[in-house]
Every structure is written in C-alpha cells, then in structure tokens.
Structure 1
C-alpha cells in the first residue's frame, strides 16, 4: 500500500489576511508623467485666473480633480522618494551638515536645532531620524500625524526668536508654485523665518552652516530653462542675502544649501523674466523678484 506523503503544515500567520495592504506601486515613467501633468494644469489654471476666464478655470480645476487632485500628486511624490526612485532628498542635507552637527551634539549635550520643513510628506526622513533637529512640518494637504496642514505663504510671521528656525527646507516645493512671481515671493519669505546670522555665537561651526535654506528643484528647472540658469539663480539668492554653501546635481534633481549671511531680507533688487537661453526644446521655469 502506498504511503501518503505528509503536506507541510501552514503557519498560522499564513492563514490570516494581511493587516496592512501595501499601496500599489506605479512606474517611474507614470510617476513623472503625473507630476508633470499636475504642474502644467496648475500653470494653466493660474493663467486663466489672471485673465479672468472663469470657464477655463473651472474646466482646468475639474481636470485636476479627475487626476486625483493634490492628494494624488503627493502620493506620486512619495512614490518618488523610494530608495529605488532616488530616495529621500534630506539625506543629501544630512551629508552636508553631519560634520558640524556632530560637533554641536558633543558640545551642547544634544540640544536640537530647529527646522521648518515646508511641503513635508513624511515624518520618517533622514533629518527626522537623525536626532539633531526639532522639526515643524507643514503641507497644503497633510498626509498624516506630525504634519500640520498649512500654506507657508499664509503662515504667521515669527514674533520672536523662539518662533524662528535654524534651517528651512523647500524640497520640490518651489517648482509646484504655478507662477514666477509667486516663486520669488516664497524665496523672499523664507528669510523672515530664519534666525539672523550669528545666532549661535558660542559655536563657530554652527555659525558657518546656519541659518540656512535647503532648496531642491527638478534639475531641468535650472539646467534647461529659458529663463533660469545657475548664474541667475545665484544672483537672485544673493539679492535675498543668501550665499551658496553647497550644491549637487544629478540627472533628475539639483540640491542647494544656501547660507543666510545678512540680517536683512535682501537688497531690494528686481529680477524680471528675461530669456537667457533660447531654444524650442527648453522649458519656461522662471523666478521673478519685484
């Protein structure tokens, strides 16, 4: 008589339904296409508003809603932060700041520096896990606990030093502002939330890196724009009392650390929309300061 083979016993866990469903992954191409489509529609919407064309504005708003609105855009952005998609941009910031942060921690018994993260998508990025920062996170559409739903342009201005920050992060935020003037005003406003230079008088290493602005943009905004290049961006930031402390360019992104070197909010220079590099294959990303 044939001997029946024993089947391996299934574990109890294997018979239970999963408690957490992983979100479906979308391809890198689809992620990029979705983000670009949102940017284009937001730009067209602002143009319609400027012209007073309410019918066009309503139609574009409906198209944005059909795409899933801001929430869907944010999910695509979160997808882009996966390690296999380029990862968390704040890791670059931590690489730049690690030497002075280690010295600060040893000298100050770990008193954290203050960071304002605009457009925050996660509470688990490299800066959050480092233990060096006390972080306030804001976003137009909060994706979870620990992120305040707030428009940076409507955030109340600091009343005193306790409400100012050592570093402000604008990672893939400025490029989502739909018009050139709005981008300029956002950059100008960052100066009002940072401590004045020399705030850390007892720590020369900190004064060398803070207060500062961490700025991340899609690389083509700087490398392939008709209206913005590295020299123009540096001039704009210089007019706002920022000096370039570090930069890194990859195929997809350009990273900057700008050190605030004056207590004023800028020299009041104007930067109009001016063509710097003609070409039909270039984009129209621009920053205007009035």
Structure 2
C-alpha cells in the first residue's frame, strides 16, 4: 500500500540481518547469545555509518566484526540461536492458534491458504508440514532449496490478487531491520502483499500477520511498549487476535480488518521508559497526508 503524499523508500534489509549457513557446529547458549547480540549491534553501527557516508566508521565496524570471527562465525551462531535462544520453530505457536479456527470453519489441509514466510530458514517447519499452506519462502541469503533469495523490501509489488497472500510471517525479522523508520516501512509494506478482508468467507482467521519479536523489544524498550505497538498496528488496519509471551520471545497474530486505512497518523520515536538498562527498539511511521 502506498501512503498518499509520501514516497516510501524500499530500503534493503541486507545490512541489518546477516545471512545464515547450513549445519553449524554447536556452540554454547551463552556464547551464541553474546555473539549474535554483539555482531547485530555492530551491523547497526555499520548501517548508520553507511547512511551518513562515514567511511571511517564503516571500516571500523568491519574491523570489529572481523575480530569476532566475521560473518561466518555469525552465521554459525545464528542457526544455533534458532534452537537455543529464539524459541525453535515459532510456527508451532502459529499452528496452535490456527488449527481451532481451521476446524471451526471446515478448512481442510488442501494447501489452499497462501502464506509468505519472510526470513525463512527451513522448509520443514510446522506450517510447511501441516498441509494447509501454499508456502512461498524468502530470505536475504537462502541456504536451502525451496527458499527464494530475496529482500522483502525489494520484492515486486503484486500485480493482481493472485499474487497476494492470506498470511505473512515476520518471525524474528522486524528486529533485524537496522532503523526505526525501516521497521515502520516494513509493517506498512505488509499491506501491499496481504489480501484485503473478505466478509463473505466462512472463517475470519485471514488475512493476517504473524509477528515474533524478542520479548525485550516490547517489555524493556525506551521507545516501545505493548499499548504503543497495538496503537501502531491498529492504525495500519490490524486487530490483535492472539498473543503469547515467553522469557525470550513475544508472539502476535494480527488480523487485517480494514481494506485500506483512511489516514495513518505519525508515530515518532518518543521515550516511554527511562533507565540505563533499556534497549532502543522503536518503530517510526511518518503517516499519510489524507
């Protein structure tokens, strides 16, 4: 969906979410978490330096990343983190929420539900094995057959409804976008690829967005909390139908209830909590002029 009066940049996600590789050797949970967090912060510094044209700062970030083992070591930690620190297969939670809705509406496992999985790492997760979905999987650096190497922010816009989806999965993807405006752009862009609500259907599970974030993005951010996230999603035309919080992660299922928002308000980066232990996760939307 294009916001009237504003031209949204199609910002590449590559600098925010380094790639992964197959078959990593096991490393400890503590080492995994520390390495992922450190390199992720360095990648954010690098992205900021690139945006400002600061070649010296960009080179310094590259040196620090290399000193930690470079992108190859990050790749190893990233897949290990999928098992240890990032909740394993997050689509299990999604299927726990959807199966009762499928049953109530009489929907069978006939592969009729179109699903776009952004940041896909596996072709054998719970959604893929369920039989309900016609899966399309993309990732910045595909390491598996069945996953298209593609940047969601560069994906060509649908030309007709046949190229839209009933559900989009953003599982631990939004937090890898290196800046607040980019995260807002990504959420806004989901509206381009999701089908519009159809009240004539026998079930109301779709269209929807499955969103998974590290829990501290919502529970311990200076600039984000649960009410603000709900306000942002409501402004985009979403309604929260399910949520779940664990020690590490927060899971959401948002159903699209508006065909098109009439006006999207501006959401700025505003401090909601103070304290030196807070993180800086935030989402910014410039809004529409209509």
Give the TM-score category using the shorter length.
Answer: 0.7 to 0.9
Describe the shift of the 1:278–1:192 C-alpha distance in structure 2 as closer, same or farther (beyond 3 A).
Answer: same
Aligned-partner Cα distance in 2 for 1:84–1:227? 24
Higher alpha-carbon Rg = 1
TM-score w.r.t. structure 1 length?
A: 0.85
What is the CA deviation profile of residues 55-106 of structure 1, one whole-angstrom value per residue up to 9, with x for unaligned ones?
Answer: 11122134335546556544433223337973211100000001122355x4
Number of residue pairs matched by the alignment: 265
Residue matched to 2:280: 284
Residue matched to 1:148: 148
The structure whose residues are more often helix, as a share, is 1
Aligned-partner Cα distance in 2 for 1:71–1:150? 20
TM-score w.r.t. structure 2 length?
A: 0.85
SS of the equivalent of 2:92 reads: helix
CA contact (8 A) 2:86 2:249 kept: no
Residue matched to 2:15: none
CA RMSD, 1 decimal = 2.2
Aligned-partner Cα distance in 2 for 1:31–1:168? 28
Describe the shift of the 1:109–1:232 C-alpha distance in structure 2 as closer, same or farther (beyond 3 A).
Answer: closer
CA contact (8 A) 2:165 2:193 kept: yes
CA contact (8 A) 1:46 1:178 kept: yes
Residue matched to 2:227: 231
SS of the equivalent of 2:241 reads: strand
Deviation larger for 40-49 or 114-123: 40-49
Which protein has greater RCO, CA pairs closer than 8 Å, 6+ apart? 2
What is the CA deviation profile of residues 213-248 of structure 1, one whole-angstrom value per residue up to 9, with x for unaligned ones?
Answer: 000000000000000000111111111111111100
Describe the shift of the 1:85–1:221 C-alpha distance in structure 2 as closer, same or farther (beyond 3 A).
Answer: closer
Residue matched to 1:252: 248
Deviation larger for 175-184 or 22-31: 22-31
Residue matched to 2:125: 125
**1:243 equivalenced with 2:244 (yes/no):** no
How far residue 112 of structure 1 moved from its aligned partner, in angstroms, is 2.1
Deviation larger for 30-39 or 252-261: 30-39
| Structure 1, unpaired ranges of 5+ | 1-20
Aligned-partner Cα distance in 2 for 1:109–1:34? 40
